[in-house]
A and B are shown apart, each in its own frame.
Chain A
Amino acid sequence: MHQQPLIPNLFRTEFTKITAVLCKLFGIAQLQVAEDIASDTFLAALETWPYRGVPENPVAWLYAVAKNKAASHIARSKAFTVKVAPGLQKAMQRDDGIHIDLTEKNITDSQLQMLFAVCHPAIPTEAQVGLALRVLCGFGIDEIATAFLTNKETINKRLFRAKEKLRDEKVDIEFPREAEIPKRIGGVLITLYLLYSEGYYSESHDEVLREDLCLEAMRLTYLLLGNETTNLPAVNALLALMCFQSSRFKARKTNPSGLVFYDDQNETLWDATLVEKGARYLRKASQGNALTKYHIEANIAYWYTVKADTPDKWENILQLHNHLLQVEYSPIAALNRTYALAKANSKHAAIIEAEKLQLNTNAFYYALLGYLYTGIDTAKAKMGFENAIALAKTQADKLALRQKLEGL
């Protein structure tokens, strides 16, 4: 029997599309039903494909089955008919009963509308990220739990509550009115930013999963750019940031024992195409007067893609961090600012500033102190790296830090 190779992530991608389209059709209260039908569709594939071979057009096959399952679900469920059918009337077609539109346009629209529904202000941000991973990125509960370094029960509970909230708040799966978009887009971007960061900075060991998270965040951001009303400077800035960061993915992974520090990265492994794409989005982001933290962060990320260690580069990175911290404080920005200060001004100046930060539970804070004192005060450098190792959360980080300690 001829076995066709499956498209990577086919189920994951199609799960999100089918769920979004069905959910749009049924209403947000039926999110679970939409997910169940999507899952059932893959079960049907599992029951069939291994024995009969993968169909020529797997996607079309899945859509056909999903349509059938949705149609029979509607016919079967009395409660569903009573509650949902009135709303379905306009979607009904005279000849084949119900029309389930799985065209590319409707899929994109549905996913975009779903993105706004999921990022509804009524839902806690953390739950938004989880929900986005589930219904928009098609991640399994196991995968989400791994990404968040927690267990399945926690994620299940979190998603359950979020879905309940969507139902209670009667959130519509629709595109916000144009006047509403400036208000709503901020929440959407925060979720996409967190989704990306979860992948880029996660302490989870699963490299493949982490990269997938980043790619999904980029795909959804890209989706926003495809729509005229959401093709905004801030969205372009966020995608630019993601492109610049992702360009270093390969270079971060060359050390089998763990992550590779920026200074030690081999820049020939940086992805020039992504850098170029990032630059293009950043240019588009610069149209208009909006200056968001994504603009600043994208600019920082751009300068990090310049490997040459020029004073100009570090001065720019320093000033951008000075600005970013005024817009929004975060410990990681404070640490990166101090690193840039060492590069742009002097290690001595940076030590004075670093000692003021007092981020005493942060492993990276001590790693920074270790770095700053290297070559100046070996005892303090040693203490820094030792504290960092004690606080580091992953084996990979501990190993990388130990190498620094031994190099003193």
Chain B
Amino acid sequence: MDEFILIFRHEDGGKVASPEQIQVWMKQTMDWIGGIAAQNKFTSGTGLPFDDARVVWHNNVVTNGPFGAIKETIGGFIIVKADSVEEAVEFAKGSPVLQGAGNSVEVRKIARTQSTQ
């Protein structure tokens, strides 16, 4: 079984939503992750708050990030266990992030540690 990271990309991360809307998203996200965990396919994950975010550029130029220059922001990620990328994609399809038209979930396989055997 492989591990895949599902990276949530928001088109406009700075958009302010109502508390009610945020609460709905929150529940949807928790239920979505709970559903993956209930299949024993959840490894880890976290949201990425925008507070204290910085981007370090070439020549060590530091900007408050990740807004401004970057159109897309990463809102968080989870790592799941799956037999194939197709299975991981099926998990991704359930993500509430995808309710936003410009948002996406990027599915990437985690490189396996080299076996010594």
Spell out A's residues near B (CB within 8 Å): 315, 318-319, 321-323, 325-326, 329, 333-334, 337-338, 341, 345, 353, 356-358
Contacts and interface: CB of A to CB of B under 8 A. Distances in A.
Interface string B13-35: 00000000000000100110111
Contact of A326 (B27, B31, B33, B39): B33
B44 to A, nearest CB: 8
B40 interface: yes
B42 interface: yes
B37 interface: yes
A357 B34 contact: no
B38 interface: yes
Contacts of A318: 31, 34
A325 B30 contact: no
A322 B39 contact: no
A334 B30 contact: no
Query: B31, B34, B39: which has the most chain A beta carbons within 10 Å?
Result: B34
B37 A329 contact: yes
A337 B34 CA distance: 8
A333 B39 CA distance: 10
Nearest to A341: B31
A321 B34 contact: yes
B34 A356 contact: no
Contacts of A341: 31, 34
Given A326-B42, A334-B40, A356 B35 contact: yes
A319 B34 CA distance: 8
A78 B39 CA distance: 60
Contact of A329 (B27, B30, B33, B40): B40
B31 A357 contact: no
B31 A334 contact: no
Query: A338, A353, A358: which has the most chain B beta carbons within 10 Å?
Result: A353
Given A322-B31, A325-B37, 8 more contacts: A321-B34, A323-B30, A325-B42, A326-B45, A329-B37, A356-B35, A356-B38, A357-B38
A337 B35 CA distance: 9
Contact of A325 (B27, B34, B45): B34
Contacts of A321: 34, 38
